[in-house]
Each structure stands twice: as C-alpha cells, then as structure tokens.
C-alpha cells in the first residue's frame, strides 16, 4: 500500500546499518590479515593488537610501539591483503596508535 521513500526516489534506500556492517567486516578481515602477516610474533603479541575503527577508507590500529614499527614497514602488504579479501579497493590507509 505504502512505498518507501527510497523506492520513490530510486536510490535503493541506503541504510545507516549497511555502513556499520561493512565496518565490522573490515575490522574482522583486518585482524585476520594482520594475524597471517605477523604470525612470526606469536599469539601473545598478536593478542595485543586491536583494530579500533574504520572510517573514510582508513583503519585505526592500536598496538605496542615495537609491533607498530613492524606493521608500519608492512603497511602496503597489509592494505593489499585487506583489499584483496574484500574483492575491491576499500582501504586506502592505515593509522597506527600506540596502546597504553
């Protein structure tokens, strides 16, 4: 009987939840790629790495300073792995923050 505004406007009605779901998927894939790339460090070190947020093509990652140095050196490898897992270029950069 009633039509949604999205169908009337013809844009398909992009919901805010779609962005949240994408952000969760990106966080999970990023954690997986980091674990695969830095598997030499062991589980104790990998457990200290946290993928915090995704916004505007950038992922924020927190970890101890020594690990961040290694991740910074492998930044392009991590970005390529994440985008390959997603199937298209979504991630343009990583931001690293020292965890306390």
Q: What are phi and psi of 73, to 5 degrees?
A: -65, -30
> Would you mind telling me the total number of residues written for the chain in this entry?
100
Give one word for 42, left, alpha or beta, with left for phi > 0 and alpha for psi -120 to 50. left
Please check the confidence at residue 89 and state whether its pLDDT lies above 60. yes
The DSSP-derived string for 27-59 is HHHHHHHHHHHTGGG-HHHHTT-EEEEEETTEE
Give pLDDT tens digits for 14-58: 455 577 888 889 999 999 999 999 988 888 889 999 999 999 899
Instruction: Give the whole-number percent of the chain exceeding pLDDT 90.
Output: 58
């Amino acid at each position: 009987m009633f039509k949604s505004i999205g169908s009337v406007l013809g844009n398909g009605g992009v919901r805010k939840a779609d962005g949240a779901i994408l952000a969760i998927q990106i966080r999970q894939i990023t954690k997986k790629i980091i674990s695969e790339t830095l598997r030499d460090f062991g589980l104790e070190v990998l457990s200290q790495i946290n993928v915090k947020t995704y916004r505007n093509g950038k992922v924020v990652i927190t970890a101890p300073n020594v690990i961040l140095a290694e991740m910074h050196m492998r930044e392009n490898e991590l970005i390529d792995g994440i985008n390959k897992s997603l199937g298209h270029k979504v991630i343009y950069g990583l931001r690293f923050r020292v965890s306390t």
